[in-house]
């Protein structure tokens, strides 16, 4: 018999977070989160996303043991302001038992019906800065800090339960040696001169902090046209700033300003923390923090997290300025491989940006939907 239980307390949410640690024990490709940080993400007193969203955390129990989990999410900004009647679900993990996955998703569907929503989609998080998609190809590649990993049977379960593909995402990588630094150096000078732009580089986190709010504003403008986009509120911006900026090497954040000092483009790259997080095993102490600090300083692989360009300047070559900045930084750091975050297959504009780097699609993931 399978029982579905909603988790409320900090102890219960910790159990929710820890379930994948047993499901993926000894798996060389799964990257664990920091347990304390993940639990804090689900704390309604800490994460401001709960001012705009509701979430329910469920586990499936069989023989007194947790065998699956799912987070059911209603983003009210999406539902009430964008009029997208979507029931979200994420943090979806389960043993290879169709009764378990069905029981969890049925519970998500019940909540969606209670709110008169039209369909459910997942796995996705609260908004566009969260993880997204179930992995469908590339199971033999290590995950990243900002993606979910899963067993191959997840796709089979979803399709067996009547879910159909909603969005397809590609994950690509390329060798830094493929980047022609001289070409981007020349093009960068031309673009900066033509549009009277200035590039900013940083060596200390405190130097970039005065620009971060403007960066989030630009993020909302740059990504607003995507069909999956939900705006990031001011309070959420402050939360992400506090939570993530200390993880990122300030040398890996690049800004471009116009002649009036307004931000028109930005890039955020993160050192690869995958191996460090595996060594940390879910905890910062006693040694996890050491591994993360070492990765922050010395990782030879990097993940391109976000690139944003103001709509007024899109298709005007501003990414050449950003690539020129990164080329100079990566050369001094000895960077070897560049990994990209999941990008919508339909986002042809972003694929055009990378085409000269001879990228390899090493993973695919997708979200699934089902009518309620």
pLDDT number for residue 227: 67
CB 138: neighbour CB atoms within 10 A?
16
Please count the other Cβ atoms lying within 10 Å of the Cβ belonging to residue 312: 10
The sign one gets for the Cα dihedral 46, 48, 50, 51 is positive
Residue whose tokens read 């209603």: 74
Q: What is the pLDDT of residue 274?
A: 96
* Confidence (pLDDT) at 129: 84
pLDDT reported for residue 239: 85
Beta carbons within 8 Å of 209's beta carbon, 6+ residues apart: 241, 245
Q: What is the rounded CA–CA span in Å between residue 235 and residue 220?
A: 14
Write out the chain's pLDDT in tens, 372 residues: 999 999 999 999 999 999 999 999 999 999 999 999 999 999 999 999 999 999 999 999 999 999 999 999 999 999 999 999 999 999 999 999 999 999 999 999 999 999 999 999 999 999 888 999 999 999 999 999 999 999 999 999 999 999 999 999 999 999 999 899 899 999 999 999 999 999 999 999 899 999 999 999 998 898 887 767 788 888 888 888 877 777 788 999 999 999 999 999 999 999 999 999 999 999 999 999 999 999 999 999 999 998 999 999 988 999 999 999 999 999 999 999 999 999 999 888 788 888 888 999 999 999 999 999
Give the DSSP letter of residue 273: -
Predicted local distance difference test score (pLDDT) of residue 242: 79
Asked if residues 138 and 364 have their Cβ atoms less than 8 Å apart, the reply is yes
Give 36-102 as a DSSP string.
HHHHHHT-TTT-GGGGTEEEEEEEEEETTEEEEEEEEEEEHIIIIIS---EEEEEEEEE-S-HHHHH
Domains of the chain: 2-170 (3.40.630.30), 174-364 (3.40.630.30)
């Amino acid at each position: 018999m399978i029982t579905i239980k909603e988790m409320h307390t900090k102890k219960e949410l910790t159990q929710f977070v820890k379930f994948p640690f047993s499901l993926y024990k000894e798996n060389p490709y799964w990257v664990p989160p920091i347990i304390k940080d993940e639990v804090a993400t689900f704390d309604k007193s800490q994460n401001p996303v709960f001012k705009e969203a509701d979430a329910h955390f469920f586990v499936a129990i069989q023989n007194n043991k947790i065998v699956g989990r799912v987070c059911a999410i209603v983003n009210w900004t999406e539902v009430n302001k964008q009029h997208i009647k979507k029931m979200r679900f994420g943090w979806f993990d389960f043993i290879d038992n169709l009764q378990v996955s069905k029981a969890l998703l049925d519970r998500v569907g019940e909540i969606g019906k209670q709110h008169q929503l039209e369909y459910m989609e997942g796995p996705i998080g609260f908004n566009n800065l969260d993880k997204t998609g179930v992995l469908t190809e590339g199971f033999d590649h290590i995950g990243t800090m900002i993606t979910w990993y899963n067993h191959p049977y997840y796709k089979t379960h979803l399709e067996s339960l009547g879910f159909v593909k909603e969005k397809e995402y590609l994950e690509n990588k390329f060798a830094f040696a493929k980047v022609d630094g001289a070409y981007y150096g020349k093009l960068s000078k031309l673009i900066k001169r033509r549009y009277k732009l200035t590039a900013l580089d940083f060596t200390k986190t405190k130097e970039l902090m005065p620009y971060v709010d403007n960066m989030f504003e630009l993020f909302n403008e740059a990504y607003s046209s995507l069909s999956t986009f939900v705006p990031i509120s001011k309070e959420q911006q402050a939360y992400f700033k506090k939570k993530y900026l200390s993880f990122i090497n300030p040398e890996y954040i690049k800004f471009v300003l116009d002649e009036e000092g307004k931000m028109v483009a930005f890039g955020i790259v993160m050192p690869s923390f995958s191996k460090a997080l595996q060594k940390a095993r879910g905890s910062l102490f006693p040694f996890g923090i050491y591994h993360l600090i070492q990765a922050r300083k010395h990782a030879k692989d990097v993940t391109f997290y976000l690139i944003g360009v103001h709509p007024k300047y899109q298709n005007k070559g501003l990414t050449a300025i950003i690539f020129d900045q990164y080329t100079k930084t990566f050369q001094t750091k000895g960077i070897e491989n560049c990994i990209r975050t999941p990008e919508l297959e339909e986002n042809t504009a972003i694929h055009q940006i990378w085409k000269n780097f001879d990228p390899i699609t090493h993973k695919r993931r997708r979200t699934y939907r089902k009518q309620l």
